[in-house]
């Protein structure tokens, strides 16, 4: 008895006829009929009541179908469990204090480690640390360096934010602008990230014209803060490999 024969039994019960079941199983009707004959021979029992124009399950056939559905259900549960395990092995759980670092990390990891999936969640600063040590995340993106013996922590990236505005706009005349100053303004966010560390800054330089290759921007008065990537030392090898790569 083969699993394929059990699928054929279930298809016959579902479709109602041999011809429809054959189409469902991508077989010719004679091929499906021969497969059912072999199954009957192996089991030493007829599964169908055959008349000139109709084939129906008999009691043995109905019993076989009931068990076939059970076996196929167990097979599907096994497949689902294996798929979930494989997905977990490919997936890294990331907790971050902001979305932008995750975007950059995802792009870099997908390019360097194909097949790796990042499942990210935006968390508060203290929650990121707690979730890392609770082992409910594999990687933490945090604003502060975690200097603990059981933790690996390396700079991830730095973000420089610039505001581009028309010359006539009131904010264009300022040397620096806070996020609070932009409250209520309609804006378009564009990003260009710098490897080596990253986090959102609360102040950034103002420019006296729209963004262009020739746009002149003053230097920020606030040193851009650093974002760090952290994990526990007792981490899977693939996570350790990512940490080593980021630290390069």
* 3-state SS, residue 154: strand
Q: Say which CATH topology domain 3-84 has.
A: Arc Repressor Mutant, subunit A (1.10.10)
What pLDDT score does 206 carry? 41
Query: Consecutive 10-residue runs of the chain (248 residues): their mean pLDDT?
Result: 91 91 91 93 92 87 94 91 75 86 83 81 87 89 87 81 78 76 74 38 38 33 68 76 76
What pLDDT score does 247 carry? 74
Contacts of 197 (CB under 8 A, 6+ apart): 155, 156, 157, 158, 226, 227, 228
CA separation for the pair 224, 142 (Å, rounded): 14
What pLDDT score does 211 carry? 34
Residues linked to residue 122 through DSSP beta bridges, in sequence order: 96
State the CATH class of domain 90-247: alpha beta
pLDDT, tens digit (0-9, with 9 covering 90-100), for 11-38:
999 998 899 999 989 999 999 999 999 9
Entry pTM: 0.49
Same topology for domains 3-84 and 90-247, yes or no? Answer: no
pLDDT, tens digit (0-9, with 9 covering 90-100), for 214-234:
233 333 334 556 788 888 887
What pLDDT score does 221 carry? 38
Q: Residue holding tokens 């409910």?
A: 136
CA separation for the pair 103, 142 (Å, rounded): 15
CA separation for the pair 230, 168 (Å, rounded): 44
What pLDDT score does 190 carry? 62
What pLDDT score does 180 carry? 76
Cβ–Cβ < 8 Å for 135, 223:
no
What pLDDT score does 100 carry? 81
- How far, CA to CA in Å, does 186 sit from each of 174, 181, 182, 189, 208? 18, 12, 8, 10, 17
What pLDDT score does 160 carry? 66
H helix intervals, the chain: 3-15, 18-24, 29-43, 59-90, 99-112, 125-133, 237-247
What pLDDT score does 39 carry? 93
* 3-state SS, residue 235: coil
Residues linked to residue 205 through DSSP beta bridges, in sequence order: 176
Where are the chain's structural domains?
3-84, 90-247
């Amino acid at each position: 008895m083969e699993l394929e024969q059990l699928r054929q039994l279930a298809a016959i019960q579902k479709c109602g006829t041999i011809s429809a079941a054959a189409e469902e199983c991508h077989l010719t009707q004679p091929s499906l009929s021969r497969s059912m004959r072999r199954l009957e021979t192996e089991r030493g029992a007829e599964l169908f009541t055959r008349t000139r124009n109709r084939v129906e399950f008999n009691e043995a056939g109905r019993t076989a179908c009931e068990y076939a559905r059970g076996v196929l259900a167990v097979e599907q549960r096994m497949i689902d469990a294996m798929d979930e395990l494989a997905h977990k092995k490919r997936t890294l759980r990331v907790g971050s204090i902001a979305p932008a670092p995750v975007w950059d990390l995802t792009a870099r990891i997908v390019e360097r480690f194909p097949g790796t999936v990042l499942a990210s969640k935006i968390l508060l600063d203290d929650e990121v640390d707690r979730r890392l040590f609770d082992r409910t995340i594999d990687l933490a993106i945090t604003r502060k360096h975690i200097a603990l013996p059981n933790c690996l922590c390396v700079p991830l990236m730095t973000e420089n934010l610039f505001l581009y505005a028309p010359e006539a706009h009131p904010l264009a005349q300022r040397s620096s602008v806070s996020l609070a100053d932009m409250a209520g303004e309609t804006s378009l966010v564009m990003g260009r990230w710098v490897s080596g560390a990253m986090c959102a800054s609360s102040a950034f330089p103002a420019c006296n014209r729209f963004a262009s290759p020739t746009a002149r921007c003053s230097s920020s008065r606030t040193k851009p803060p650093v974002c760090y990537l952290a994990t526990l030392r007792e981490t899977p090898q693939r996570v350790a490999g990512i940490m080593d790569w980021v630290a390069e």
